[in-house]
Chains A and B, each alone.
Chain A
């Protein structure tokens, strides 16, 4: 903080003497916040540890020592959960803070080691036999339970990812577009249903006032899933593409209302971008249908230049609108 600035503000009469004193005191001690760096180290530590343990189990699965390794991991997992149960603050439908700096990470470590154990049990003992669905289902239930019981947003994200995986959909940002096969009707319909389910869960969170802060996580996953599925279906299905375009339009309208209601720039942005992709595809399709020759390329360029400009004006207007709400 710039002491000179506050001195001159005081001289101008905009700052009281006591405030100036507080500023001076703060900049004298001015602790350097290391919060983010330390948390990053903790996350990376948990990531390295859990991945290392997983690889260890996998590599040693046929050797004599693997029982010891497994026992140790099970011990670690149990230890983490015991710690969390012991130290957690009482359950409440409102947001419950973590009782200490390490709590969140120990819970995370516990959940990850649990998943490793499940995988091991399946590989070594065939615990679930051919019922692979059950193998995904059980961790998912445990994760959801932990997320609510211990109030951990990260674990909730993991639970939702597992839910999607159980349904056959890869939902993480990195894999949403690449890893799903949108030409399969089953996948697309599952995706839409799952997206809708997530939105319902979000709505339920808000309405019932149980863990309201979970609402954004549910909605975020649901929104992207719905948009991407609708677009994917539009691109894949030659005959029904217009029907899917209408579905996309409905989702866009839904989130437009939500963006205005919640004054959210984020939702406004994503609905604009996804909607733009959809509209452009529709326009291109119509142009190609009616006018399949060279001139269409010029039209195409002009469309993109014109529409993007229009969209810029739209975003600027929306920015003003949300700010004014």
Chain B
């Protein structure tokens, strides 16, 4: 099913684990070299920057090819957009299979781009020509993306597949009317939880070893939907908008207390599970969910003005992080504060992010044209004076 040669995928896994062990000082250099030699990998997987460049360019080529064909067809007076999309889809898929099978491309940017072009064109063709009801369109997207995930092990495509699954369930329930609105959050929460559990179970199977990354992604989507479907803001605002049954401002949501409970309890649950199981993904989700919950509370209840809230929360975060770092540094708790082995590039990126986020001179009126005038930059502690 998988388009990439399995032996190489397996060898790649071995090499990565060995490299990781080597970075942590468990292995000797010559042992690693011997292992690398014993398990060769013949993929063409260029550097990340090259990969980005190839992705952009390949997408451009596809885009312009489509434009070229469309232009020819339209000037000749035709109107066959859907067929053009199908044509391009077939073409890019053919090139994709060729690149992967004959040229050994793997995460080269070219295969990424062609995969998405194919998928995008097929979906566009269906949307344009089929006049399909949303349920069938969601189902088609789900099946198509599942196929691509199974064949090309693409993490982003897994996100599409997981979300479209929720879409299918959504459109299937919609005809139920008012009942749908009440039941939907619970169904979604159950589905999210089921997805997370399902992926954990499948992960243990030996046949699924190449799909581990995709399964992790699906799990994260499931857990995120679990939180989001129970979040008060989402249930109230998005629920009313999506089902077309508006909730008047200021009114209480039926079962509102339950969703407030979910909004506060789910992040705590994630955090607790994450710490107990020492699962990084759960901890990160817990942090994001906690932030979302705080924002949700602020949206409905203005406890204090924004600036005081920022000062308070900022101070709490700094203090809390400091305490945690001290606690974790001992290493007794099962967590560590040691930076990842290849910190150098990350440090540069971090500095750039800091410059972007904080690099502000106090904003100034544009005065004159001398050197030294001009208006200051963006974020940070500024206002216009």
Chain A contacts to B: CB under 8 angstroms = 1-2, 5-6, 9, 12, 14-16, 19, 22-23, 26, 29-39, 41-59, 101-102, 105, 108, 111-113, 115-116, 118-119, 122-123, 130, 132-137, 139-140, 153-158, 160-162, 164-175, 186, 190, 216-217, 220, 265-266, 268-269, 272-273, 294, 297-298, 301-302, 304-305, 308-309, 311-312, 315-316, 318-319, 322-323
Contacts and interface: CB of A to CB of B under 8 A. Distances in A.
Interface of B: 14, 17-18, 20-21, 24-28, 31, 34-35, 38, 46-50, 52-54, 56-58, 60-61, 64-65, 67-68, 71-72, 75, 110, 278-280, 283-284, 287, 306-318, 320-322, 324-325, 328-329, 331, 334-340, 347-348, 350-352, 354-362, 364-365, 367, 369-383, 385
Contacts of A154: 350-351, 354-355, 358
Contacts of B352: 157, 173, 217, 220
24 contacts: A1-B20, A23-B26, A38-B325, A41-B317, A42-B318, A47-B379, A51-B381, A132-B367, A139-B361, A153-B350, A155-B354, A157-B354, A162-B359, A167-B374, A173-B352, A175-B377, A175-B378, A217-B355, A265-B49, A266-B49, A297-B71, A304-B60, A312-B57, A316-B50
B310 A135 contact: no
Max chain B C-beta neighbours (<10 A), residue from A39, A153, A158, A302: A158
B71 to A, nearest CB: 6
A22 B27 CA distance: 8
Given A41-B287, A44-B317, A305-B65, A118 B362 contact: yes
Given A45-B314, A119-B362, A50 B68 contact: no
A166 B374 contact: yes
Nearest to A33: B336
Given A35-B339, A38-B337, A48-B317, A305 B372 contact: no
B355 A160 contact: yes
Given A54-B383, A158-B354, A133 B372 contact: yes
Contact of B35 (A9, A173, A304): A9
Contact of A172 (B48, B313, B377): B377
Contacts of A54: 380-383
Given A5-B17, A46-B318, A49-B311, A34 B347 contact: no
Contacts of A315: 46, 50, 53-54, 57
Contacts of B17: 1-2, 5-6
A32 B335 contact: yes
B379 A133 contact: no
Given A38-B324, A45-B318, A172-B359, 13 more contacts: A5-B14, A19-B27, A34-B324, A50-B381, A51-B379, A51-B380, A52-B309, A122-B362, A172-B378, A217-B355, A268-B49, A304-B61, A308-B57
A322 B48 CA distance: 13
A47 B374 contact: no
B64 to A, nearest CB: 4
A115 B381 contact: yes
Contacts of A52: 306-312, 314
B64 A42 contact: no
A112 B310 CA distance: 15
B314 A49 contact: yes
Nearest to B384: A58
B57 A140 contact: no
Contacts of A112: 358, 380-381
Nearest to A114: B381
Contacts of B61: 304-305, 308-309, 312
A116 B356 contact: no
A265 B358 contact: no
Contacts of A55: 306-307, 310, 381, 383
A119 B371 CA distance: 20
A47 B358 CA distance: 8
Given A133-B370, A136-B364, A45 B359 contact: no
B109 to A, nearest CB: 9
Contacts of B26: 19, 22-23, 26
A153 B24 contact: no
Contacts of A26: 21, 24, 26
Contact of B373 (A33, A133, A220, A269): A133
Given A170-B377, A172-B377, A132 B310 contact: no
Contacts of A113: 381
Contacts of B381: 50-51, 53-55, 57, 112-113, 115-116, 119
A156 B351 contact: yes
Contacts of B54: 312, 315-316
A108 B354 contact: yes
Nearest to B339: A35
Nearest to A54: B381
A177 B266 CA distance: 41
Contacts of A140: 361
Contact of A101 (B315, B325, B379): B325
A293 to B, nearest CB: 13
Contact of A37 (B284, B316, B340, B385): B284
A35 B21 CA distance: 19
A115 B362 contact: yes
Contacts of B315: 45, 49
A202 to B, nearest CB: 13
A257 to B, nearest CB: 17
A132 B365 contact: yes
Closest 3 CB pairs of A and B: A133-B372, A157-B355, A54-B381
Contacts of B379: 47, 51
Contacts of A175: 377-378
Max chain B C-beta neighbours (<10 A), residue from A54, A155, A297: A54
A45 B321 contact: yes
Contacts of A323: 47
B69 to A, nearest CB: 9
A180 B81 CA distance: 39
Contacts of B317: 41-42, 44-45, 48
Contact of B71 (A12, A115, A298): A298
A168 B375 CA distance: 7
A33 B338 contact: yes
B58 A312 contact: yes
